[in-house]
With several copies, the nearest count.
Chain A
Amino acid sequence: MSKELYIQFYRTMYKIRIFEKRIEEFSLKAEIPGFVHLYIGEEAIATGVCANLTHADYIQSTHRGHGHTIAKGAQVDRMMAELFGKSTGYCKGKGGSMHIADFSVGMLGANGVVGGGYTLAAGAALAEKIRKTNNVSVVFFGDGASNRGTFHEALNMAAVWKLPVVFICENNEWASTTPYLDVTSVQDISVRAVSYSIPGVIVDGNDVMKVYEESGKAIERARKGEGPSIVEMKTYRIKGHYVGDPEMYRTKEEVEKRFDANDPIKRFKDKIISEGVLSENDFKEIQEKVINEIDEAVQFALDSPYPEVEELYNDLYID
């Protein structure tokens, strides 16, 4: 494992964390409008998975998509601007948090429809298969989303056609206000791989190295034309479902206990320090740079203009 990769992983996870914290702040003040779902506590997943991808590969994201977008290589300033509804945002302010996308890096969009991404990801993979490239397509989805019919249709199709697509389950134990086991007939979502004669594996989703390695295997398999897999990342949703969620369905203590024991960023930092690869000072340096970058992104967003009203009719049809 190279030091560069360690640094990259840490920097990406930390960037996501700081990005989300600033978003939370502005969202609570209603300066960021719309529904906002934070990725705090799940940073290792996007980071580890996307480290296996190039910009020629695709991801389909979810309503909780900031982490995926950052990990896939999007710029935080244009992301931030989008979340503020500014014209300099990736979607010119038309999308916002639930519809963030950066096609230039292969990030094909967050999705406000839970389970909306599976079939699109399969389609991108189908395109690459027809074109005989070795690009792959990855779709992130939640435990809750695993009960959508689209899960079944996309997986069956992907399996039958051996499409280069990887299904990454982010099992954070909650679907909004509902514990996933209340509404899900299996403990491990990845068990459902059996229904499609494909591999299904379970991974500690808060261990970025494990995420990287196990998703890497599935991605490699897809790249070689051996078809799809389900990789289930076990994690936990630290924040409310959306910013402003009263969280009447669980106690603060419950959540804090889980986070303290299992913060993926802290865990990774401890590991690197214990391995002697980086020092506290190295971390400080990375952190400062990231904080700086996010501060600049916030400033960029604040300084940017709102779209002109005339923009309303643009981007509807091409012909």
Chain B
Amino acid sequence: MREITFSEATLEAMKEEMERDDTIFVMGEDIVRQGGIFGQFKGLPDSFGIERVIDTPISETAIVGAAIGAALVGMRPVADMHFADFMGVCMDEIVNQMAKIRYMFGGQARVPMVIRAPDGLIRSAAAQHSQSIEAWFNNIPGLKVVTPSNPADAKGLLKAAIRSDDPIIYFENKDLFRQTGEVPEDEELLVDIGKAKVVKEGTDVTIVSYSIMMQKALEAAQILESEGYSVEVIDLITLSPFDEETVLESVKKTHRLLIVHEAVKIGGLGGEVAAVVAEKALDYLDAPIIRIGAKFTPVPFSPVLEEAYRPKTEDIVEGVEGMFK
């Protein structure tokens, strides 16, 4: 199969969906002239015009607010956040408007919109341009949070998010954009929102991850398999509300659970996954649950510190090994 980059995969998703449905438009900072910081919007203005591919002022509350308003009256906006870190600027619009409008208004409204939010560590971008903030939204009913871990899912998940009638936050890891992978040439490539994927089956331990950390999870799994462990790896894909069933089923089989994400471990999504298992499958557990995530500090600038901050493959390997000691 042909290989394309993660960035190109999202671009294809945008193109195909915008061709299919002319209520879709995209807006954000600096997307027209240079195609987005990660090339993820390259060429879109040529195909759809600057009426549907819109450069905005540096006004995140207006970007998200306007997307909500447009969605309310029947459009399907895609709003780009530039960096996920800036979602604090429009947090009120996201949680008090976007997530609640349908419910508050007793189902009168639909808010079919997607917020695209590039997140994660990238080359010493430091404390305000490196965050993974998905956990903020886990406690907020009314929105959904998804994130792909590879180019094929990037495409299928973005398409599904755009087609969804619910408001969706689509986190896309900055370091993944340039990575390549096989992506089927299928206009109906859709990733189910709400479903986790068992990417690798195994019987001794379940590793749950998502986004860029899936690569380290799989790397660790390979090392562990070579050591004789049979490892099951789950890609959550939808982070909120997440697919409890798939995780529980796996843990009931493997009796061991490790969760890994790039976000800070404490208060991270791993806590929610661990808690669900501790509530609903405690008796199946043969070892303490292990969570792996970044250290509890803002993201430091210096490469040395950034490296110390970042979760690593060997953390996963050692974690699993420890479960069998």
Interface residues of A (CB under 8 A from B): 33-35, 58, 60, 85-87, 89-96, 98-99, 101-104, 108-109, 111-116, 118-128, 130-131, 137, 144-145, 147-150, 153-154, 156-157, 160-161, 175-178, 182-184, 246, 248-249, 306-307, 309, 311-319
Contacts and interface: CB of A to CB of B under 8 A. Distances in A.
Contacts of B302: 33, 85-87, 93-94, 96, 306-307
List 4 tightest A-B contacts by C-beta distance, closest first. Answer: A119-B65, A123-B69, A85-B302, A123-B66
A177 B34 contact: yes
B92 interface: yes
B104 A160 contact: no
B129 to A, nearest CB: 6
A264 B13 CA distance: 47
A122 B127 contact: no
A252 to B, nearest CB: 16
B65 A123 contact: yes
Contacts of A147: 57-59
Contact of B142 (A115, A248, A316): A316
A130 B74 CA distance: 11
Nearest to B99: A316
B303 A85 contact: yes
Residue from B96, B101, B105, B126 with most neighbouring chain A CB atoms (10 Å): B105
Nearest to B128: A112
B56 A157 contact: yes
B73 A153 contact: no
A70 to B, nearest CB: 17
A304 B129 CA distance: 25
A120 B69 contact: yes
Contacts, number: 266
B33 A249 contact: yes
Given A95-B104, A113-B97, A123-B65, A157 B59 contact: yes
Contacts of B109: 101, 103, 108-109
8 contacts: A33-B303, A96-B126, A116-B92, A126-B69, A156-B62, A161-B54, A309-B305, A313-B296
Given A313-B295, A318-B110, A124 B123 contact: no
A262 B85 CA distance: 36
Interface residues of B, number: 74
Contacts of A319: 164-166, 193-194
B144 interface: yes
Contact of A112 (B55, B56, B108, B129): B129
Residue from A35, A111, A115, A315 with most neighbouring chain B CB atoms (10 Å): A315
- Consensus secondary structure, chain B interface: loop
Contacts of A145: 58
B228 interface: no
A85 B124 contact: yes
B309 interface: yes
B253 interface: no
Interface in B1-60: 25, 29-30, 32-34, 51-52, 54-60
B126 A99 contact: yes
B72 interface: yes
B129 A93 contact: no
Interface in B73-119: 73-75, 77, 85-86, 89, 92-93, 96-97, 101-110
B106 A153 contact: no
Nearest to B64: A119
Nearest to A310: B308
B51 to A, nearest CB: 6
Contacts of B101: 109
B287 interface: no
Interface string B263-307: 000000000000000000000000000000001111011111100
B107 A314 contact: yes
Contacts of A109: 101, 104-105, 109
A161 B74 CA distance: 19
A116 B303 contact: no
B62 A119 contact: yes
A175 B58 contact: yes
Interface string B240-255: 0000000000000000
Given A33-B303, A144-B58, A178-B29, A312 B308 contact: yes
A122 B102 CA distance: 19
A76 B10 CA distance: 43
Nearest to A119: B65
Contacts of B93: 116, 119
B237 interface: no
Given A34-B124, A119-B62, A91 B57 contact: no
Contacts of A35: 125, 129
A123 B194 CA distance: 28
A124 B297 contact: no
Contacts of A307: 300, 302, 304-305
A123 B126 contact: no
A102 to B, nearest CB: 8
Given A93-B106, A103-B105, A249-B34, 15 more contacts: A35-B129, A90-B105, A99-B301, A102-B108, A103-B72, A112-B127, A116-B92, A120-B68, A123-B66, A149-B59, A177-B32, A178-B30, A307-B300, A309-B308, A316-B103
B108 to A, nearest CB: 4
Nearest to A247: B34
B70 interface: yes
A89 B142 CA distance: 21
